[in-house]
Structure 1
């Protein structure tokens, strides 16, 4: 081995000794953050994890308590990436610290488990690092209700050719690819000339294969015969009502007035453009400010307990809205279900819902949000400690819906979801599967109703949009987004953003969709991911569990040795 190779091989040790665990940890955090909105240097994501990977590769982690320093470094990334969590309410600064503190743990776990695989099991860095990262992302998407916003894959949401592999392995496959490339770069920095060639060619081959697959997939789908076709025009209505926690009747009416006027303008503009009528008008999450009261099935309450007008008010307004628009409407709405309580009292259950009403004013379907947001729609453990609600602006917790709903307008089937449900890939996939397997219907369009005005036009809007781009590719189904405060969008089944609103501006998008009609008697899954789910990420998660067992066994066997040295060795 020549002197150049020897110097290259010792480079990770020299870097870690000079920069320390904390220095390299924070360097990786800042570089990764720069790849996300608002900076959006997406190309940086392919090399940003290198400082963390150098810590995996070095023989001994420098300094005292290295994993505490890695936790702090991970926390720095999340404080930067999801800083907008603090914006809805002053108390959310505490929620931001709690969320960043929890998510920061994953960087420590990544380095620790990767070091077990690399140094003890002798698995190459380019294999163990992407497997561990992907497995931990899978855990993050499920643990504590799940939160996958800020996935490294999301940095590539504007690179359609790269993300087409999501129809095979979900967004996790794109994350795996990014870490694989970064691991190869790390090895190129650290290895001999022969190894540099191997890792460089491996990285180029996998990236090229991904791009070729993406190009060919888009070409194949574009050339497919799609007939007969049903055409539908949808008006996505975006108001810009700044969200707050006050219940002011005058403000509630002004919200309704804004959305009502925008809806009328959308219908008028459609007819003036080409004479076509709008088939469906969509309002965002909770934009319809008259609560929809409903009695529990088979338990109509006595009129002296709750006046009948409560149950008719919302329906009367919805009927008038559809009458003026001349088309069906899908609106986000607060829903209250009334049921008998104890000793001639009533119990009330609140839902964050969407309701579809046809052009004659008849309610066709109601979807209740299934995946609630902690600290936004409920307070964890508040069922045990109700006093927690007195410390927050929330008056009480919403309840989660039980099942997805297929909403049909004409011959087109919509599958609605609300707010952050698009952040959790397995939820959208499970909803799709339920409709296919239980109701024997395949959704033609996924539609997200959200209120992102809480975040004042920040980078949250872009990060939320990125989630919908991946859901469209994974399910090979167009996604429509209608968002109070933006960003409303039309994303096609390739992940292309066909139409996009401005942020914090009242407007509407007129979206024309040609929906192919399947002639088969039973619906067919549109992608491998749609039918098989997160098999790839789950396999990576199993590998993480195995590595954790190995680490626990080694700790048990070495517990008589110096615990500080054991932790530094990984």
Structure 2
């Protein structure tokens, strides 16, 4: 077999004391920090994406090492923390509380995956005796999949996301999602590590003289990378993807296209500014005046998330019951709610019918008065030609520390420390927005960073008889003050387009607004923190659901199952043979 067998320690099955390691903690620190910095450089703002193919080599070398010194996993944790603090620095830009609490807590949690990757992989490699090129990509993919679901999930900055600038490298996502891209990259890196001699030699492990084997392993890594690129190019070209979303959209040439305007203002989020809501609404109405004048034939105008200022939906629920401490008469309270709802509806009619003469898809808030409770939704409302709300989408996946705090329902005082209020109420599910025969699926804010959510919404609507033609994201990225978080967010939108093979429209406050083809190509995109608008042309599509849309994360879930099996097997072997810790 060409792959190097795992290097065993000099201990026997009855020895309970680990052999000393020739690696000092200083070497561990240098190796792990190097991997973290190389991987961080592959992400925005530097975008040195080829580095991502070699960045994991340091961590893989530590997996291959027979014995690690004490405190190695703490050092690995620190290297992971350095990576996440660097890549997600912009998360803390909105408020001092997110800088001092949300940003470090989030990064501290994500940093756990680096030592977990090394530890689990070492158990399977050294105890179960499975070769590194098999173990590393499976465990890495499993952990990416796990963090996409754990505590509502966090799928920003996956390893495979670094390759979005070279489109043939990411086309496999229509079958296996971004996880498949990460798998291939880690596979190549593991073969490279297996092809190089051990940098440090244990006394019982002299240098491997089989140079030819190492050359062959390096060649295998090269062949995998080139073959993978070729297959991606085939997928890219097979359906005319190089036509940037026209021939590749599989639309009916006789079908009528629709024109959709995406409005981008530039209002950075400043908590405590009493003028921000009004300034935001005024800026967006002025921009839309220019858009409607320049393009009077629009079929839809889209505003980003929560850009309606103080104008919002008021709903009196059928289960309405006043709170016990209501200071006014119940009927008076109901009348005030109804009056505000009617006033808002009249306001929308004036905008859609009289001012812009076009249907609207607007990001706002919705307040629902129910049984002694007030539910607050992050909402997108579809306003038709007559100026009435046709339907609305309530965000189903709130952002951790941005819109809710884990276990905040059990410790509500935590919300008093943060600028996000009392948290959002999740919506019930997806909706289809019909625009002259073209069906759009809206999502809000960071929902488009959650691959299983978007694919699940498309699949659910398809099962309900709605053939989805395109995706649309309404997001307010003013929280991040023009930082590289905007680029990470856009990358996720591009992957959702590829995974589902549907165009993706993005209307983003402060940017980056975009029109994305099913290949992931940026047909149009806006500058960061500039006021502008884009006009997209969409057609109905006859493109079938992709494998990923139909079956979801089958591949990554399989990696998780294999990782659990391997980890349990390693634990049982250690107990059976009384082996020392690795």
State the distance in 2 between where 1:68 and 1:415 align.
44
Shift of 1:378: 1.5
Which residue of the other structure, out of 293, 304, 320, is the alignment partner of 1:284?
304
Shift of 1:14: 11
Q: 1:15 to 1:333 in 2, by over 3 A?
A: farther
State the distance in 2 between where 1:59 and 1:412 align.
59
Aligned to 1:42: 49
Summarize deviations over 1:88-114 as a string: whole Å, max 9, x none. Answer: 111112222211111111111111111
Summarize deviations over 1:410-440 as a string: whole Å, max 9, x none. Answer: 1010100011111111111111111111x21
Q: 1:468 to 1:15 in 2, by over 3 A?
A: farther
Which residue of the other structure, out of 516, 520, 536, is the alignment partner of 2:555?
536
Could you state the TM-score of these two structures normalised by the residue count of structure 2? 0.88
Shift of 1:130: 0.5
Summarize deviations over 1:200-236 as a string: whole Å, max 9, x none. Answer: 2322332222222222222221267632333111111
Aligned to 2:388: 362
Q: 1:230 to 1:213 in 2, by over 3 A?
A: farther
Aligned to 2:538: 513
State the distance in 1 between where 2:385 and 2:289 align.
14
Residue 376 of structure 1 pairs with residue 402 of structure 2: yes
- Residue ranges of structure 2 left out of the alignment (5+ in a row): 9-19, 198-207, 241-246, 323-329
Moved more, 163-172 or 226-235: 226-235
Aligned to 1:66: 72
Residue 305 of structure 1 pairs with residue 333 of structure 2: yes
State the distance in 2 between where 1:461 and 1:27 align.
25
State the distance in 1 between where 2:21 and 2:128 align.
24
State the distance in 1 between where 2:84 and 2:562 align.
25
State the distance in 1 between where 2:22 and 2:144 align.
28
Q: 1:511 to 1:16 in 2, by over 3 A?
A: farther
Could you state the TM-score of these two structures normalised by the residue count of structure 1? 0.90
Partner of 2:157, secondary structure, is coil
Does the 8 Å CA contact 2:127/2:573 hold for their aligned counterparts? no
Shift of 1:115: 1.1
Summarize deviations over 1:280-323 as a string: whole Å, max 9, x none. Answer: 10000001121210122475985411413221232222111112
Residue 339 of structure 1 pairs with residue 370 of structure 2: yes
State the distance in 2 between where 1:78 and 1:494 align.
28
Does the 8 Å CA contact 1:16/1:55 hold for their aligned counterparts? no
Shift of 1:538: 0.3
State the distance in 1 between where 2:301 and 2:501 align.
23
Aligned to 1:193: 211
Does the 8 Å CA contact 2:377/2:395 hold for their aligned counterparts? yes
Partner of 1:144, secondary structure, is helix
Aligned to 1:274: none
Does the 8 Å CA contact 1:285/1:332 hold for their aligned counterparts? yes
Count of aligned pairs:
536
Shift of 1:543: 1.4
Which residue of the other structure, out of 208, 217, 230, is the alignment partner of 2:235?
217
State the distance in 2 between where 1:318 and 1:246 align.
27
Tell me how large the CA RMSD over aligned residues is: 2.3
Residue 435 of structure 1 pairs with residue 453 of structure 2: no
Map 1:117-516; keep pairs closer than 5 Å: 117-190=124-197, 192-222=210-240, 226-227=251-252, 228-246=254-272, 248=274, 250-271=275-296, 277-289=297-309, 290-297=311-318, 299=320, 303-306=331-334, 307=336, 308-323=338-353, 324-341=355-372, 347-437=373-463, 439-516=464-541
